[in-house]
């Protein structure tokens, strides 16, 4: 993650189940566990979420292996979206 720190991925065997890192100073979000949902079109998914009352907390941004965005739903629950990079 470069200057943002080390991102540790964990799982079982070759199956990735999640990742974690120390939150960078000045980050726009509080420390938390957040669920990621895979999407084939990140921008369209963000558009659907925001039209239904969701708000983008962070992103969208490029990360190793794709693009992500962290959002809250209309009730304030945090979730994230992930689009795998095209090969």
Look at residue 86 in the predicted model and tell me its pLDDT: 84
User: Is residue 6 in a domain?
Assistant: no
For the entire predicted model, the pTM comes to 0.76
Can you give the CATH number for the domain in which 81 is found? 3.10.180.10
Q: Which of 61, 32, 31 is nearest to 46 (CA)?
A: 61
Q: Which residue has the tokens 């964990």?
A: 10
User: Is residue 25 in a domain?
Assistant: no
Q: How many CA atoms lie within 13 A of 72 on its CB side?
A: 10
- What is the tally of structural domains in the chain? 1
List, for residues 20-79, the tens digit of each pLDDT value: 888 878 877 778 888 999 999 999 999 999 999 999 999 999 988 899 999 999 999 999
**Residue ranges making up the domain that contains 61:** 31-87
Q: How far apart are CA 46 and CA 55, in angstroms?
A: 9
Look at residue 1 in the predicted model and tell me its pLDDT: 66
Q: What residues have CB less than 8 Å from 76, skipping those under 6 apart?
A: none
């Amino acid at each position: 993650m470069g200057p943002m720190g080390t991102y540790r991925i964990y799982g079982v065997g070759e199956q990735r189940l999640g990742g974690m890192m120390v939150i960078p100073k000045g980050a726009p979000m509080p420390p938390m566990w957040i669920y990621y949902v895979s999407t084939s079109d990140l921008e369209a998914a963000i558009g659907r979420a925001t039209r239904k009352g969701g708000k983008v907390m962070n992103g969208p941004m490029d990360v190793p292996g794709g693009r992500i965005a962290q959002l809250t739903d209309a009730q304030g629950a945090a979730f994230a979206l992930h689009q795998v990079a095209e090969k």
